Amino acid sequence: MPAQAARTRSRKESSAPASPWEAGRKRGAGHALKRDAVILAAARAFRQRGYHNTSLDDLAASLKVTKPTLYLYVPNKEAILFECFKAGIAPIEATLTECEKATGPARERLFAFIRGYAAAIVGDFGWCMLRAEDQHLGTAMGRKIKLLKAGIDKRMRALIEAGVADGSIRECDTRMTAFALAGALNWMGHWYREDATLNPQEIADRFIDVFNRGLRGK
């Protein structure tokens, strides 16, 4: 397609999601870039329409490719969901590692993690990270997801325990505290909208205020 036609097409379809297959755009882009585009388009579709209501045909259409082309990058829908899940959990693991390595009272490091978690959860892969486990995946895939999630839970609990040990967090049921925190944060996936009054950092700060000081008045 001549450059002029490509530009015209690109303008006309500016509201459609970008596709690395589009003529004239990122022509030299490699396999990894195209695979990433499949994963991202899938994450958005799963979030908007749900996993069960998204077919590989829908996904191929949104990327303006054929279904056989998709199979060059991913073996099946379940594998795509798993990739989306991994893309969702990666920034959370990165924040955790950062907070574990940081110095200072563990309560402050826990709160830094809460901010990182809130930011990650509203991202493109947030829905997949939260809901992947509920989609009745095959046993092997389901087990992998459970393990990765349990790892986050364990490390979060260790951060709370470190706070109890260094005195920055009072004695509490660390397991239930981790569940309460994770619940408050994960629930954002149900109510948060991008046009909300508060951004993820402001929401995290409100949550931190509640969890830090408690609700008790006089």
List of residues 6+ apart from 53 with CB closer than 8 A: none
Q: Judged by CB, which is closer to a second copy: 27, or 175? A: 175
- For residue 20, how many other CB atoms are within 10 A of its CB? 17
Which is closer to a second copy, CB of 42 or CB of 65? Answer: 42
Question: Is 169 near a second copy (CB under 8 A)?
Answer: yes
d(CA 121, CA 157): 19
DSSP 134: G
**Residue 86 vs residues 29, 35, 43, 111, 126: alpha-carbon distances, Å:** 23, 14, 11, 23, 10
CB 72 within 8 A of CB 65: no
Give the nearer residue to a second copy in terms of CB position, either 7 or 206: 206
Residues between 116 and 135 with contacts to a second copy, criterion CB under 8 A: 131, 133-135
Amino acid at 114: I
Query: Of 90-109, which residues contact a second copy (CB under 8 A)?
Result: 107
Structure tokens belonging to residue 48: 């908007």
Q: Does residue 201 belong to the site contacting a second copy (CB under 8 A)? A: no
DSSP 71: T
Q: Does 207 bind a second copy (CB under 8 A)?
A: yes
**Minimum CB distance to a second copy, residue 182 (Å):** 6
Among the listed residues 44, 78, 177, 200, the single contact to a second copy using CB under 8 A? 177
The phi, psi pair for 24, rounded to 5°, reads 80, -10
The token pair at 54 is 């998204």
Least gap, CB of 204 to a second copy (angstroms): 10
Quick one: which segment of 15-23, 71-79, 93-101, 181-189 binds a second copy (CB under 8 A)?
A: 181-189
CA 174 to chain centre: 25
Could you tell me the smallest distance in angstroms from the CB atom of residue 31 to a second copy? 32
Helix (H, G, I), strand (E, B) or coil at 28: coil
Closest approach of a second copy to the CB of residue 125, in Å: 17
Which x/- pattern over 40-79 shows residues binding a second copy (rule: CB under 8 A)?
---------xx-xx--------------------------
Residues of the shown chain interacting with a second copy in the complex, contacts defined by CB under 8 A: 49-50, 52-53, 107, 131, 133-136, 160, 163-164, 167-170, 172-173, 176-177, 179-188, 190-191, 198, 203, 206-207, 209-218
